[in-house]
Amino acid sequence: MNKTPVAIIAGPTASGKTKLAVLLCKALNGEVVSADSMQIYQGMQIATAKPTAEEMGGIPHHLLDFQPLEKPFSVADYVQLARKTIADIRHRNKLPMIVGGTGLYIDSLLQGIAYTPSVNPQIRAEFKEFEAQHGSQALHEELAKVDPHAAESIHPHNVKRVVRALEMYRVTGKTLEENAALSHVKPSSYQACFLCLGFRDKEKLYQRIDARVDKMLEAGLVQEVKEALQNCGPTAVQAIGCKELLPYFAGSCTLGEAAKAIKQSTRHYAKRQLTWFRREKQAQWLWIDDYLDEEQLFQDALRKIQDFLKGYCL
């Protein structure tokens, strides 16, 4: 089977993926396919750190800013949309460049498998927090809405199984029964040049994260999240990683304390992203602090993708 060539620029938040990807797309006649589970949501430009029109540099960016914040969106939904988008880009003889930090999206797209997903700490924590706030019966009712058959077979007090069933639905968009029927491997449709950005010195990444959070606050993050909270509720706000502002809105902490909490939470998120990508056997790591400057990083990434593309007709 002839596989579709794709390039991937992955890595933790604030590592400079968008800037590098735009330069590479300009050099390689490419278009960006976002792989970011928060940037899919409409609005929330600041909270999700979506690239501005200027940062996009005239390069088409797909799968950004299209999903209503209050509506669920599964990994299966992402894969379906990404496949269509990649096919369209290739039909126009351009290079699809998958760019983002959501490893589960990238894995699910590349590996072409329907599988029982591994534990997703972020999603699991969200459901556990819901149970802590609203109780096990309310959590069970959430399961009944999306997977009534599973809800019938799982007791409301068996919180662990309820959470797992909800987690699987969130990740795959399918019920427990449907996932069981699809637990076979499908061949991948893609051949990838998988580049992953990172820092050998983690403090340099943390400095970037802190600077980004400060910039987001200056740009109006608080007002943006407040409006989302009023329009869509706290669950939606948690989905975009801004739950640290909820205590500030409730008057139980200062803005400075909330900002510190956002920075710490973002650092933890970056650590989880790095842990995920370290498991990627295909990944070629580009350690940013090994390069003299951004131009040298760009040239190395460009060479790697050009070598990969030899033999493909683009």
What was the pLDDT predicted at 36? 94
Geometric angle at alpha carbon 123, from 170 and 251, rounded to 5°: 125
Segment (H or E) for 264: helix 255-278
What is the average per-residue pLDDT within 251-270? 94
> Rounded to whole angstroms, how far apart are CA atoms 305 and 7?
7
pLDDT, tens digit (0-9, with 9 covering 90-100), for 5-33: 999 999 999 999 999 999 999 999 999 99
pLDDT, tens digit (0-9, with 9 covering 90-100), for 133-178: 888 888 989 999 998 877 865 767 667 778 888 988 888 888 877 7
User: If you ran DSSP here, which 8-state letter would residue 207 be given?
Assistant: H
pLDDT, tens digit (0-9, with 9 covering 90-100), for 188-213: 789 999 999 999 999 999 999 999 99
Q: How many CA atoms lie within 13 A of 127 on its CB side?
A: 25
> Rounded to whole angstroms, how far apart are CA atoms 182 and 112?
12
Binned at pLDDT 50, 70 and 90, residue 111 comes out as confident
What was the pLDDT predicted at 119? 61
Predicted TM-score of the model (pTM): 0.80
What was the pLDDT predicted at 70? 76
Residue pair 106/98 in contact (Cβ under 8 Å)? The answer is yes
Residue pair 82/105 in contact (Cβ under 8 Å)? The answer is yes
Class of domain 121-181: mainly alpha
What is the average per-residue pLDDT within 56-82? 90
Binned at pLDDT 50, 70 and 90, residue 283 comes out as very high
What is the average per-residue pLDDT within 280-293? 95
Phi, psi (rounded to 5 degrees) for 97: -120, 110
pLDDT, tens digit (0-9, with 9 covering 90-100), for 28-44: 999 999 999 889 989 88
CATH code linked to domain 4-113+185-309 = 3.40.50.300
What was the pLDDT predicted at 34? 98
DSSP string across 90-154: HHTT-EEEEEES-HHHHHHHHH-B---PPP-HHHHHHHHHHHHHH-HHHHHHHHHHH-HHHHHHS
Q: Which long-range contacts (CB under 8 A, 24 or more apart) does 123-128 make?
A: 123/167, 123/170, 123/171, 124/163, 124/167, 126/238, 126/239, 127/163, 127/166, 127/167, 128/159, 128/163
What was the pLDDT predicted at 19? 98
Q: Locate CATH 3.40.50.300 in the chain.
A: 4-113+185-309
What is the average per-residue pLDDT within 208-232? 93
Any alpha helices (H) in 147-233, and if so which ranges?
A: 148-153, 159-172, 176-181, 202-218, 221-232
What was the pLDDT predicted at 108? 85
What was the pLDDT predicted at 180? 62
Percent of the chain with pLDDT over 90: 58
Q: Does the pLDDT value for residue 183 go beyond 60?
A: no
Residue indicated by tokens 């409301």: 156
Q: What is the mean pLDDT of the chain?
A: 89
pLDDT, tens digit (0-9, with 9 covering 90-100), for 95-107: 999 999 999 889 8
Q: Locate CATH 1.10.20.140 in the chain.
A: 121-181
What was the pLDDT predicted at 83? 95
